[in-house]
Structure 1
Amino acid sequence: MGTIVERKSKSGTKHRAQVIKKKEGEVVFSKSATFSRKTAANAWIKKVEKDFDAGKLTNRQIQTTVSELIDKVIDTQRKQMGKTKSQVLKTIKLFDVADFEVASLRPADLVEFANQVAEGEHGPAGRSPSTTANYMSHLSGCLNLARPAFAIPFDRRVVEEARETTSTLGITGKSKKRTRRPIPEELDALMDFFVRRESRDTRAIPMSKIVPFAIFSARRQDEITRILWDDYSQEHATILVRNMKDPGEKEGNDVVCELPPEAIRIIESMPRLTDQIFPFHKDVVGRQFTGTCRFLGIRNLRFHDLRHEAASWLVETGRTLPQAMSVTGHKIWSSLQRYSHLKKVGNRYENWAWMEVIT
Structure 2
Amino acid sequence: MASYSIQKRDKADGTSKYRCLIRVKKKGKILYTEQRTFTKKLTAETWGKERIVEIEKNGFEDQVSTIPTLGKIIDQVLNDPNIDSAIGRSKRFCLKLLRDCEIAKHLINQIKPQHIIEHCQQRKTSGTGPSTIAIDISVIRWLLKIAKSNFGHDVSQSAIIDAYEALYAQNLIAKSARRSRRPTTIELEKLKVGLQQRSDQRTAHIPYVDLLEFSILSCMRIGEVCRIRWDDVDDEQKAVVVRDRKDPRKKAGNHMLVPLLGGAWELIQKQPRNDDRIFPFNERSVSAGFQRVRTELGIEDLRYHDLRREGASRLFEKGYTFDEVAQVTGHRNINTLWQVYTELFPKRLHDKDV
TM over 0.5: yes
The answer on whether the counterparts of 2:120 and 2:172 sit within 8 Å (CA) in structure 1 is: yes
In 2 relative to 1, CA 86–202 (structure 1 residues): closer, same or farther, beyond 3 Å? closer
In 2 relative to 1, CA 335–128 (structure 1 residues): closer, same or farther, beyond 3 Å? same
1:152 and 1:198 mapped to 2: Cα distance? 52
Pick from 92, 113, 117 the counterpart of residue 119 of structure 2. Answer: 113
2:154 and 2:61 mapped to 1: Cα distance? 16
* CA deviation profile, 1:157-187 (whole Å, cap 9, x unmatched): 2221112321221101111112111101111
CA drift at 1:117? 2.5
Match of 2:94 in 1: 88
Pick from 69, 74, 86 the counterpart of residue 65 of structure 1. Answer: 69
In 2 relative to 1, CA 210–58 (structure 1 residues): closer, same or farther, beyond 3 Å? closer
The answer on whether the counterparts of 1:234 and 1:264 sit within 8 Å (CA) in structure 2 is: no
The one-letter code of the counterpart of 1:118 is K
The answer on whether the counterparts of 1:67 and 1:99 sit within 8 Å (CA) in structure 2 is: yes
The one-letter code of the counterpart of 1:163 is Y
Match of 2:103 in 1: 97
CA drift at 1:148? 5.1
1:100 and 1:201 mapped to 2: Cα distance? 48
The one-letter code of the counterpart of 1:111 is I
Name the SS of the counterpart of 1:261 in structure 2: coil
CA drift at 1:199? 6.8
Structure 1's unaligned 5+ residue stretches are: 1-19, 23-28, 32-54, 121-125, 347-359
The answer on whether the counterparts of 2:313 and 2:341 sit within 8 Å (CA) in structure 1 is: no
In 2 relative to 1, CA 117–199 (structure 1 residues): closer, same or farther, beyond 3 Å? closer
RMSD, aligned CA: 3.1
The answer on whether the counterparts of 1:147 and 1:153 sit within 8 Å (CA) in structure 2 is: yes
In 2 relative to 1, CA 164–150 (structure 1 residues): closer, same or farther, beyond 3 Å? farther
Q: Please state if 1:78 is matched with 2:79.
A: no
The answer on whether the counterparts of 1:102 and 1:153 sit within 8 Å (CA) in structure 2 is: no
1:78 and 1:228 mapped to 2: Cα distance? 25
CA drift at 1:237? 2.0
2:144 and 2:160 mapped to 1: Cα distance? 8
The one-letter code of the counterpart of 1:90 is K
2:149 and 2:202 mapped to 1: Cα distance? 59
CA drift at 1:197? 6.1
The answer on whether the counterparts of 2:195 and 2:290 sit within 8 Å (CA) in structure 1 is: no
The one-letter code of the counterpart of 1:98 is A
State how 1:303-342 maps to structure 2 within 5 Å: 303-341=304-342, 342=344
Query: Paired residues, what number?
Result: 292
2:173 and 2:209 mapped to 1: Cα distance? 39
2:195 and 2:160 mapped to 1: Cα distance? 50
The one-letter code of the counterpart of 2:117 is V
CA drift at 1:263? 0.7
In 2 relative to 1, CA 303–262 (structure 1 residues): closer, same or farther, beyond 3 Å? same
Q: Please state if 1:270 is matched with 2:271.
A: yes
The one-letter code of the counterpart of 1:61 is Q
State how 1:1-359 maps to structure 2 within 5 Å: 60-62=62-64, 63-74=67-78, 78-79=82-83, 80=85, 81-120=87-126, 126-147=127-148, 149-195=150-196, 204-341=205-342, 342-343=344-345
* CA deviation profile, 1:236-262 (whole Å, cap 9, x unmatched): 121111222233334332222121131
Structure 2's unaligned 5+ residue stretches are: 1-24, 32-55, 349-354
* CA deviation profile, 1:270-299 (whole Å, cap 9, x unmatched): 232222212222122112211111222222
- Alignment identity in percent? 32
The answer on whether the counterparts of 1:107 and 1:162 sit within 8 Å (CA) in structure 2 is: yes
In 2 relative to 1, CA 127–203 (structure 1 residues): closer, same or farther, beyond 3 Å? closer
CA drift at 1:67? 2.1
1:269 and 1:188 mapped to 2: Cα distance? 21
Name the SS of the counterpart of 1:87 in structure 2: helix
2:137 and 2:201 mapped to 1: Cα distance? 49
Name the SS of the counterpart of 2:263 in structure 1: helix
Name the SS of the counterpart of 2:316 in structure 1: helix
Match of 2:22 in 1: none
CA drift at 1:155? 3.7
2:300 and 2:137 mapped to 1: Cα distance? 31
1:200 and 1:143 mapped to 2: Cα distance? 48
Match of 2:47 in 1: none
The one-letter code of the counterpart of 2:237 is H
* CA deviation profile, 1:210-246 (whole Å, cap 9, x unmatched): 1111110011112111111111223212111122223
The answer on whether the counterparts of 1:140 and 1:159 sit within 8 Å (CA) in structure 2 is: yes
In 2 relative to 1, CA 191–68 (structure 1 residues): closer, same or farther, beyond 3 Å? closer
1:269 and 1:59 mapped to 2: Cα distance? 68
Match of 1:46 in 2: none
Name the SS of the counterpart of 1:340 in structure 2: helix
In 2 relative to 1, CA 67–213 (structure 1 residues): closer, same or farther, beyond 3 Å? same
The one-letter code of the counterpart of 1:313 is R
